[in-house]
Structure 1
Amino acid sequence: MSLQVVWSLCLAYPSQAINGLALFLALSGGWLLLATRWREQRAVARVLAAGEGGALDVEGLASYAQVERLNRFFYGFGGLGLGAGLLLSWLSTRLQPGIWF
């Protein structure tokens, strides 16, 4: 398909183009949330398997705080992706074809 055909489809059906973008954002946000959760579960299983239970040294606490901050960032970014997908999907239902030009 040439770029002109793709662009004409986007102009003919703007709501479907925006809904496709919303689907992409929602899927990527959901995947990021799921991957972060899996990462947390693997880290807990690794600590329990090592037998360190509750014994963490000062360096371990510093790295734990950094990992927690990174996980919070990933959770926030994933939630933002899901929210943006929901907002774009809702806005795409309000569009009418032919009002662009």
Structure 2
Amino acid sequence: MFLQVLWSFFSAYPRRTANCLALFFAVAGGLLLLMTRLREQRAHARMLASDVEAQVSEPTMIDKPTQRLNQFFYSFGSVALVLGLLLSEFSTQL
């Protein structure tokens, strides 16, 4: 049902629909990148705070699974931004 509504809206207003989808992907990708960066900064601040409390001279690194998860979210957010850009460029050709 939802796909029928989306397709009928795309048939009636192709440029507007493509631009709305491009805006959706761009905003979603940008928010994903922003939230990943904020989470990464909070993890670094938490590690520094725990190092000060424990009086550890060597700073500890973020564990490997968290680094992989952050890298995945950075990649996924970047792909969403590129998809939004390409969809916006495509909508100018309609």
TM-score normalised over the length of structure 2: 0.81
Matches of 2:9 and 2:23, distance apart in 1: 17
Q: Which residue of 2 aligns with 1:13?
A: 13
Q: Which residue of 2 aligns with 1:98?
A: none
Structure 2's unaligned 5+ residue stretches are none
**Higher relative helix content:** 2
Q: Deviations over 1:20-76 (max 9, x none)?
A: 0010011000000000000000001101111256254xxxx6x61111111000000
TM-score normalised over the length of structure 1: 0.75
Shift, 1:19, TM fit: 0.8
Off by >3 Å, runs of 4+ in structure 1: 4-9
Q: Percent of aligned positions with the same letter in both sequences?
A: 53
Structure 1's unaligned 5+ residue stretches are 96-101
Q: RMSD value over aligned CA atoms?
A: 2.2
Shift, 1:78, TM fit: 0.1
Aligned residue pairs, count: 88
Match of 2:63, SS? helix
Larger Rg: 1
